[in-house]
Amino acid sequence: MQRVDSTTTGNAAADGPTVVLSATGISKRFGGIAALSDVSLDLRPGEVHALMGENGAGKSTLMKILSGVYTDYEGAVAIDGRTIRFTGVRDAEDAGIAIIHQELNLVPELSVADNIFLGREKLIAGLVVDGKASSRTASALLQRLGIELDPEARVGTLRVGEQQLVEIAKALSKSARILIMDEPTSALSPAECQRLFRIIGQLAASGVAIVYISHRIDEVMHLASRVTVLRDGRHVLTRDMAKLDEDAIITAMVGRDLLASSDHERGPGGEAVLSVRDLSLSKPDRHGWRTMIDGVSFDLAAGEILGIGGLLGSGRTEILEAIFGSSDGRTGGEIRLDGVPVEIGSPREARRLGIALVTEDRKTQGLHLQASITDNVALPLVGALARFGLRSRSGERGLARDAVGALGIRCESIEQAAGTLSGGNQQKVVIGKWLATRPRVLLLDEPTRGIDVGAKREIYDLVFKLAGDGLAIAVISSELPELLHLADRILVMVEGRQRGILSRAEASEEAIMRLAAPRLGTPRRAARPAA
């Protein structure tokens, strides 16, 4: 059980705003490493309080203390002015604290209602689960939140954005007064983000206090009334959001200005390395064959960075899949390398030709999280390095050391498991894996998704350096400022079709969005009959 002391804290003094939760002087060590040093945070009823900082700043450690995951720490936590010490997660939930992790904690095979009340099922005579009662109660809760979901729908059939809403309903079913949200929009579409923002506003208006963790500065500036920034395990600032601008938040997070322009020499460097003409891709569905992209054409020169923009589902990723030979559909059109037509039927063939693809989802498609940095970096070249059918461990370690040194991967050793690295360092391992193959064309799909602003800056600098070394690079990004910062030209997609290519001089957020917005006259992707 939780231990409650009768002493009140100064954070709930009558001469200041009401505080529902306060953490004072929190310190936490893991062995000889200080994860948090004298960190303080207070939370008011009905506020959205942003918590920001680079990966490794201590955000997750602090939230795990507040939610009862970590019980061994220095400092004090108080609820409604009364000091409290949790002995576990259940204690924190009983005190009204719920956390929604970035990796959703749902059972795909169970219904929405079953997930909401998992572990707290409504029973008949204390013995049999009352499914109808759970469904009715879940339906009433979803309606109160304005969430239009069938309580009996299987969670595995829902979109990620809908699953996020189930997590919120699950937390509030426990009468949570304090809701911690960790990167809640990292996998959501713009429309799903807007729906989530509306619900967050409703929750705050009803008095729920929300700690909102995000790397997206524009998002937190829109949602939060206050922001707390951590850096290297220490408290840097807590301030009203209205008194800060984006530059000030970034500087607080990283301790330096990240907005200086790059000295990358812009523009193509000569003849095209990669030429694509009338590229098309169709994938099978229950109605036959669905056209994913059609009529895409562009050239990419050595040293050039081509941006690919468009709304979610516009066909951006499918372009890179078709070029790399990793799509499960039918491709058409022509691909040339140095003017010579090539047939690419698999990623192995693409790699042999000097093409590399860094996929959007590094955790499921880019890395083996339980394997070491060495194993991940060497994976595409294990066969090439082998001697007499035996793996060359020395050769693989050499590749890993080269990647760690060249890309500045921060790790304990090259034998550290990839899954224990920060998001930015994981992304560098993925890039290092493909750079080890010595590609001439590098395809990057959302290369900075889910990493902090400091790591983003490092990825940007790396992309510019690679382009400066003569690599031809195509990059997809959903963040328009990022696309504008990186790209020499920007190809804009709409519903599988190429709307246009903007030069650097022509490109702006407004120009991209004008091209990216579907119009009544836009040809829609049609089903093609099977050949």
Give the pLDDT confidence of 222-239 residue by residue, as tens digits: 999 999 999 889 999 999
pLDDT of residue 40: 96
Q: Please check whether residue 362 lies inside any domain of the structure.
A: no
Q: Which domain holds residue 487?
A: 272-354+439-528
Task: Please say if the pLDDT value at position 522 is more than 80.
Answer: no
Residue 91 and residue 213 in one domain: yes
Q: How far apart are CA 151 and CA 120, in angstroms?
A: 16
Same domain, 203 and 253: yes
Question: What pLDDT score was predicted for residue 39?
Answer: 96
> Does residue 308 lie in a domain region?
yes
Beta bridge partners of 23: 41, 77
Q: What percent of the chain has pLDDT over 90?
A: 45
- For residue 399, is it within any domain? no
Whether residue 507 is contained in a domain is answered as yes
Q: Considering only CA atoms, which of 74, 108, 106, 82 is closest in space to residue 2?
A: 82
pLDDT tens digits, 472-481: 999 999 888 8
**What is the CATH classification number for the domain harbouring 251?**
3.40.50.300
Instruction: Note whether 444 and 490 are same-domain residues.
Output: yes
Domain count within the chain:
3
Note whether 171 and 183 are same-domain residues. Answer: no
Out of 259, 282, 310, pick the residue that ends a domain: 259
Nearest by Cα to 176 from 73, 267, 98, 258: 98
Question: Are 79 and 182 part of one and the same domain?
Answer: yes
Torsion on CA atoms 477, 480, 482, 484, rounded to nearest 10: 110
pLDDT digits (tens, 9 = 90+) for 89-103: 889 989 999 888 777
206 and 343 both lie in a single domain? no
In a domain, residue 366? The reply is: no
Same domain, 74 and 112: no
Query: Mean pLDDT in the chain?
Result: 85
Residue 249 included in any domain: yes
Which pLDDT band, with edges at 50, 70 and 90, does 528 fall under?
A: very low
Q: Are residues 5 and 89 in the same domain?
A: yes
Closest by alpha carbon to 492, among 337, 310, 318?
A: 310
| pLDDT for 162 | 83
Q: Do 16 and 65 have their domain in common?
A: yes
Q: Where are the alpha helices (DSSP H) in 214-352?
A: 217-223, 246-254, 316-324, 347-352
- Is 364 part of any domain? no
Q: Do 19 and 76 share a domain, yes or no?
A: yes
403: in domain: no
Looking at the structure, tell me whether residues 83 and 222 fall in a common domain. Answer: yes
Q: Are residues 84 and 109 in the same domain?
A: no
- Per-residue pLDDT at 100: 83
**Residue that wins the pLDDT comparison between 79 and 388:** 79
Once rounded to an integer, what is the mean pLDDT over residues 388-410? 88
